[in-house]
Amino acid sequence: MMKMHVGINVTDLNKSIEFYSKVFLSEPVKVKPDYAKFLLNDPALNFTLNVKEAVSGNQVGHFGFQVENQEEVLQHKGRLEKIGFFAREEMDVTCCYATQDKFWVTDPDGNEWEFFYTKDDVESMKTDSACCSSQPVEVEIKNSTCCS
């Protein structure tokens, strides 16, 4: 089995561990003073937190979890709202050539995560959602080291 690896930069490791432990319903398997690692089976993901002095919002467009149906979207939304995470809801929206039900949460450094269900494919890029916003995105490429 392959696991996807995502490593994100964070400014407060403890706040980020707390946030992601609740979102993933899992504790990290490794924690160091400047690093934490989650190994998830569902979804298959090697997810790391890397401490940096400053992080400016999303360094990617967004992250997300595609689920099987609307009920699963609402279950995750209710679970995360109960523990105090703000969820921006977008039901029956057109985004990225699909009609979707979704909601969003934001981590302590401004990275957005969507939980979504794709109801149907559509032929246009027309969007009612933040995920396909036409706002320009700044990308800064730096040399980096990877911890896995």
Mean pLDDT computed over every residue of the chain: 83
Please give the C-alpha separations between residue 58 and each of 9, 50, 87, 126, in angstroms, as whole numbers.
Answer: 10, 14, 17, 22
Average pLDDT of the segment spanning 85-99: 86
What's the confidence (pLDDT) of residue 62?
80
pLDDT band at 95 (very low <50, low <70, confident <90, very high): confident
What's the confidence (pLDDT) of residue 134?
43
Q: What angle do CA 138, 62, 78 make, to 5 degrees?
A: 145
What's the confidence (pLDDT) of residue 132?
56
Phi, psi (degrees; rounded to nearest 5) at 15 = -65, -40
- Looking at residue 129, what DSSP letter applies? S
Give the CATH architecture of domain 1-52. Roll (3.10)
Q: 62-129: which CATH topology?
A: 2,3-Dihydroxybiphenyl 1,2-Dioxygenase; domain 1 (3.10.180)
Residue extents of the structural domains in the chain: 1-52, 62-129
Task: Tell me if domain 1-52 and domain 62-129 are identical in fold.
Answer: yes
Average pLDDT of the segment spanning 66-82: 94
What's the confidence (pLDDT) of residue 3?
83
